[in-house]
Amino acid sequence: MQPTHIFTNGCSFLTTRPKEGVNTHVGMLLADSLQLETARHLGGGGRGNKRLSITTKVWCEKNPELAAKCFFVIGITTGQRFDFPTFDQYKTHKFPELATSWKTFKPHAPKEAEKFFKHLYTALKLDIDKMLQYESLEATLNLQNYFKLKKYPYVMYKTISDPDIKVDLKFKDVQLLWDSVDKSRYFKPETSHRNWTDEHNQHCSPDDYHPSAEGHQDWAKQLKKFIDANNLLTI
């Protein structure tokens, strides 16, 4: 059955930035070019891949009839993000259909949370970077397997890359897991939308590395070609 709707989830690379004059994003552009109605967009700034995976699956389980009509577009973000459920119902007004609220921490960001991660690094000698990469890949593989089980058509791509995986031998085991990710529905696995934006100078402003309207349009056009060439709208 051909999908009639599109579902999107990802980080800030799958959001608009009206203050910078960017009023569209890759998901919206794909909905137009594929002639699909928008079922739900769960994307937002700063989230990690565990959160993307879980919120996507929860939405599907709560909306099985609509999910069965969807084509899923998932922007896989950097692995350097820690996703936690919260007690305080943080920003639940944005996603009222999700009972669990989430916050995401970045271990290398200059915030209060960094003290906690430094303690894990120095006092407990834990390899936080590697753990986050494992969690990120586990979330990716888990979501791919879920889509296959449900027979939902989808496409994935990286919004932000993790270059350390390729150059640091300590990530050798992580590379093995990355190699097991299904690349047949993974657009440009060797790069990311962030890298493309940097290489083609398509930032929304000199002080903001997110894509301009042109950056979203160019990426969406290439993604559409990949979807069509590989007949990804069907299972």
pLDDT digits (tens, 9 = 90+) for 153-168: 999 999 998 754 444 4
Residue 20 belongs to domain with CATH number? 3.40.50.1110
Cα separation values, 23 from 41, 72, 77, 119, 160, Å: 15, 21, 21, 41, 20
pLDDT tens digit string along 30-50?
A: 999 999 999 999 998 888 999
Provide the pLDDT for residue 31: 97
In this structure, are residues 52 and 139 in contact, taking their beta carbons and an 8 Å threshold? yes
Q: Is residue 44 part of a domain?
A: yes
User: Is 37 inside a domain boundary?
Assistant: yes
Q: Please count the residues of the chain.
A: 235
Residue 20: inside a domain: yes
Question: What gap in Å lies between CA 139 and CA 7, rounded to an integer?
Answer: 18
Per-residue pLDDT of the chain (235 residues; tens, 9 = 90+): 899 999 999 999 999 998 888 999 999 999 999 999 999 999 988 889 999 999 999 999 999 999 999 999 999 998 888 777 777 765 666 666 666 777 777 766 656 566 666 666 666 666 777 778 888 899 999 999 999 999 999 999 999 987 544 444 456 788 888 889 999 999 999 899 999 999 999 999 888 899 999 999 999 999 999 999 999 999 8
Cα 80 from chain centre: 12
- Contacts of residue 32, Cβ cutoff 8 Å, sequence gap at least 6: none
The predicted structure's pLDDT at residue 167 = 41
Q: Is residue 130 part of a domain?
A: yes
What's the domain range around 170? 5-229
pLDDT score, position 97: 66
Domain-embedded: residue 35? yes
- Identify the three-state secondary structure at position 218: helix
- Please tell me the total count of domains within the chain: 1
Crossing angle between the packed helical segments 49-62 and 128-150, to the nearest 10 degrees: 20
Confidence at residue 74, expressed as pLDDT on a 0 to 100 scale = 98
Could you tell me if residue 235 is inside a domain? no
pLDDT of residue 23: 93
Would you say residue 234 lies in a domain? no
Instruction: Output the six-digit token pair for 166.
Output: 């390729």
Give pLDDT, residue 149. Answer: 98
